[in-house]
Chains A and B, each alone.
Chain A
Amino acid sequence: MFTAGIDMGSRSVKVVLLEEVAVEGVPGKQYSVKKAHLMMPGDLDADQAADKAFNEALSAAGVTRDQVKAVFATGAGRTQVGFATEGVTEMTAGAKGAVFMYPQARTVVDVGAEEGRGIKTDADGKAIDFAGNEKCAAGAGSFAEAMSRALQLSLKEFGEASLKSDKSIPMNAQCTVFAESEVVSLIHSATPKEDIAKAVLDAVASRVCAMVRRVGIEGNVVLIGGMGHNPGFVASLKNAMDVDEVLLPELPEYVSALGCALIAAERVH
């Protein structure tokens, strides 16, 4: 049996195709990821983008649409996925996926393009509490992206540059628009790019950390969402949260789509 989870983020669509498998000697249901697929929709409208991404995932996995028992959607644009059976919130999907990957995790930090949030979860991957950025994009990926543009570094160079700095320059601006001017001022005062990159990522981490603190940091911490690909951010976050370890999936941007597919599998039973 197959189920699918589609995460319609503000910037990209993620699809996870999940297969229920029987493992000999192991009781209960087991799942394996059949295919994970990501697409940047660009000019397509949300429904078309989701449809296209889903079809691409299906054909890559060699699975037909009829074989998929349920398609659940999550993310900011979940209501726009017309063919989805049901929608689940990002908190529900993120917690489920994170605990599936790391059963010991109880605090989930989710940092995507425009959203950052902290989720408290139980051992079943059920979200108990959460706090997120509702009004401002400062604690999210687009903030870091805008600053990497201002620094004229690619996102990869940006993250790597920040790791080379051990300075702690405070960024006064929280707002993405203000911070761009502040970064330009720092460039003109001949501050090394490495130090500015670290200042920016420290600022994002500190914002995210403040959100996570509102729900309380408990147990093991797992980071999901696209910002997990930025090693500078991961280091800043670890430092800001003052924890020994931040669990980091190899493909952090797919975790919510995975959680969504898992919830779909549980519900169709």
Chain B
Amino acid sequence: MNAEVAAATAPEKKEFWRWQENTWFDESKNWKDAKIITCGIDVGSVSSQAVIVCDGELYGYNSMRTGNNSPDSAKNALAGIMDKIGMKLEDINYVVGTGYGRVNVPFAHKAITEIACHARGANYMGGSKVRTILDMGGQDCKAIHCDEKGKVTNFLMNDKCAAGTGRGMEVISDLMQIPIAELGPRSFEVDEEPEAVSSICVVFAKSEALALLKAGYTKNKVIAAYCQAMAERVVSLLERIGVEEGFFITGGIAKNPGVVKRIEKLLGIKAVDTKIDSQIAGALGAALFGYTLMQKQGAKAA
């Protein structure tokens, strides 16, 4: 099935916006030793992740682009990691769906909002000191407050406009004909920081970026101007809710230093470092919720 999907979605022309899809698992462990295996599936508007948690610890994940069908995206995301580690659906004790397509995740026992899942995931990835989470996803941008257990206490999100989200960055990547992963580093290769792109709307910003190129800006300078605009946009969202340390960034855009470093500069706060891929935070949180639920069930049974 995977081979078929890969063939069907193979890019015909160079698609600069395509971010790297990846699969990882902890080779030092064997999932067969685990008592409880849970899975979180985050079907986002742009990317889908499946995370496998063994006895409350991250074991493996797969991250890929969301197709135009939520159930298929969920199945493919999960198949990507199960195939790699030789796991079957029957081996998983509990599945939690999250994200924009969470109600359409087949085989999910429960659906939990991505707000709760990102907070829980961030708490695992960044530790109990994490209090403010900025989730920068494909079409979403959320500022979340949580307590020491990763429980959400407050949040704000962009519900009307996609400015300051990953989709806008993809549009710029395509316009500049520069792979999306290179945008961040290239945004620092400028003699001086340009003014931020003034348009908020993704559609307007694309025209503005094109006009800047025609006015003689280098590509790097346009990218810097766009990264700065994204940073200003999300910081204004963060400021509405207030930023407390530890500050943690999740979602695909967290992998773009061009935006992250500018956010840190505007806030005067450094984000908590993590070795784990920021894009899996939602699915990881979902799997951890599944683990907690299983433990409760186990306690009841005993």
Contacts and interface: CB of A to CB of B under 8 A. Distances in A.
Contacts of B161: 136, 174-175, 178
Contacts of B63: none
Interface majority SS (helix, strand, loop, mixed), chain B:
loop
A45 B165 CA distance: 29
Contact of A188 (B68, B160, B199): B68
B69 to A, nearest CB: 6
Interface string B39-60: 0000001000000000000000
Interface string A167-199: 000000011111001001001100000000000
Given A177-B167, A181-B139, A184-B68, A142 B203 contact: yes
Interface in B173-223: 199-204, 207, 211, 214
A234 interface: no
B290 interface: no
Contact of B207 (A45, A114, A146): A114
Nearest to A76: B207
Interface in B104-161: 139, 160-161
A207 to B, nearest CB: 12
Interface string B65-109: 000111000000000000000000000000000001000000000
Nearest to B200: A135
A52 B171 CA distance: 29
Interface in A81-140: 114, 135-137
A46 B214 contact: yes
Most chain A CB neighbours (cut-off 10 Å) among B100, B168, B200, B214: B214
Contacts of A142: 203
A254 interface: no
Interface residues of B, number: 21
A72 interface: no
A45 B212 CA distance: 11
B162 interface: yes
A114 B162 contact: no
A177 B68 contact: no
A143 interface: yes
A203 B160 CA distance: 14
A174 B162 contact: no
B201 A135 contact: yes
B160 A175 contact: yes
A177 B168 CA distance: 9
Contacts of A239: none
A10 interface: yes
Contacts of A77: 211
Interface in A237-263: none
A87 to B, nearest CB: 16
Nearest to B207: A10
A188 B162 contact: no
B203 A176 contact: yes
A136 B139 contact: no
Interface string A224-236: 0000000000000
Given A10-B207, A174-B161, A136 B68 contact: no
A137 B203 contact: yes
Contacts of B203: 114, 137, 142-143, 146, 176
B204 A177 contact: no
Nearest to A135: B200
Nearest to B45: A181
Contacts of A184: 68
Interface in A15-65: 45-46
Most chain B CB neighbours (cut-off 10 Å) among A77, A137, A174, A178: A178
B162 A175 contact: yes
A178 B46 CA distance: 11
Contacts of A181: 45, 100, 139
Given A114-B207, A137-B203, A177 B214 contact: no
Given A45-B214, A46-B214, A188-B68, A174 B160 contact: yes
A177 B200 contact: no
B66 to A, nearest CB: 9
Contacts of A137: 201-204
19 contacts: A10-B207, A45-B214, A46-B211, A77-B211, A114-B203, A114-B204, A114-B207, A135-B200, A136-B161, A175-B160, A175-B161, A175-B202, A176-B201, A177-B167, A178-B139, A178-B161, A178-B162, A184-B68, A188-B70
Interface of A: 10, 45-46, 77, 114, 135-137, 142-143, 146, 174-178, 181, 184, 187-188
10 closest pairs, A vs B, by CB? A177-B162, A137-B203, A45-B214, A175-B161, A136-B201, A175-B162, A177-B167, A137-B201, A176-B203, A142-B203
Given A135-B199, A175-B202, 10 more contacts: A45-B214, A77-B211, A135-B201, A135-B204, A143-B203, A174-B160, A176-B203, A177-B168, A177-B202, A178-B161
